Structure 1
Amino acid sequence: MEAPTRRDLKSRAAMNLRNQMMIMLTVMQKRRTKMEPLM
């Protein structure tokens, strides 16, 4: 197995960040749809 280079670690971190952003967006949208009927 090859040792991960710094570029690999950076790209992996970027992917994780992007995934977290997408999850946050989906969660916010779900919450918004849930909150709309209450208002």
Structure 2
Amino acid sequence: MANTYTKIYIQFVFAVQDRLSLIQNAWKDELYKYIT
């Protein structure tokens, strides 16, 4: 079988209307642990 290995890259973009910052500073450090 040829080409049995596949790579999938997924990117999530968090953006809200008018680029308001809805992520509170208290949550940022904990959130970044999961998304980096």
Q: TM-score range by the shorter chain?
A: under 0.3
- Which has more helix, going by share of residues? 1
User: If the length of structure 1 is used for normalisation, what is the TM-score?
Assistant: 0.25
User: If the length of structure 2 is used for normalisation, what is the TM-score?
Assistant: 0.26
